[in-house]
Amino acid sequence: MNCKSILVFSFLVISGLSLRAQTTFGIHGSYVDVRDSGDALGFGAVLTLPLGEVFFVEARGGVYDTVKTTRESGPVLLDVESDLTPLELGLGMRAAIGPGADLYVSGGVYFMRLDSDFSLNGQPVPIQTENNEGWYALAGISTGTDLQLYVEVQYRTSTVKFRGGESLPVPLMLEDSDVHKVSANVGIRFRW
């Protein structure tokens, strides 16, 4: 079973279990900064299932605008436009820091659907990126009881693999590389 299948299966199990527990569902706006590649705005959703008073399981998903990057070598320009769609599954823990306010941390695995278009001096180039897997860590704060406001900072890392990059000029060759993403999320969550 690959990572994507495990994440989808786990999300469905969590969704089914959430009907029996005090669960939260949130939606948020998000800003992501991809190191060396630009930034984008997007939105996401999170479903959490408590495992007692302190621990919880979470399933997350998101969609971001296109991240645009340009690499330059003399008169040659390589433009890359990437659409990011992360799916995440993790464990977390929370601690009350006041009446109706919680501080929480979580981490887990994620699958990133990565859809990229490449062009060399404005002409399409047959290069593809593979969807990738990695891990994430998150810290957040929420306030409220049944309706909560939350703010989070999230870090993601993975390895991006390229296919078809052999046709590029040597200074612009693409090599498999680690990609680091930092995002800030602000949203509302409903507890039922």
Q: Write the pLDDT tens digit of every residue in 89-117.
A: 999 999 999 998 999 999 999 988 877 88
What is the residue-averaged pLDDT of the chain?
83
Handedness of CA 144, 145, 149, 150 (dihedral sign): positive
Backbone phi, psi, residue 12, to 5°: -65, -40
Whether the per-residue pLDDT at 176 is higher than 80: the answer is: no
> pLDDT at position 63, please?
92
> CA 112, CA 62: separation in Å to the nearest integer?
10
pLDDT band, residue 165 (cuts 50/70/90)? low
> CA 170, CA 57: separation in Å to the nearest integer?
46
DSSP 141-162: EEEESSEEEEEEEEEEEEEE-E
100: which 2 tokens? 């109706």
Q: 3-191, which class in CATH?
A: mainly beta
pTM: 0.80
> pLDDT at position 79, please?
82
pLDDT band, residue 17 (cuts 50/70/90)? low
Domains of the chain by residue range: 3-191
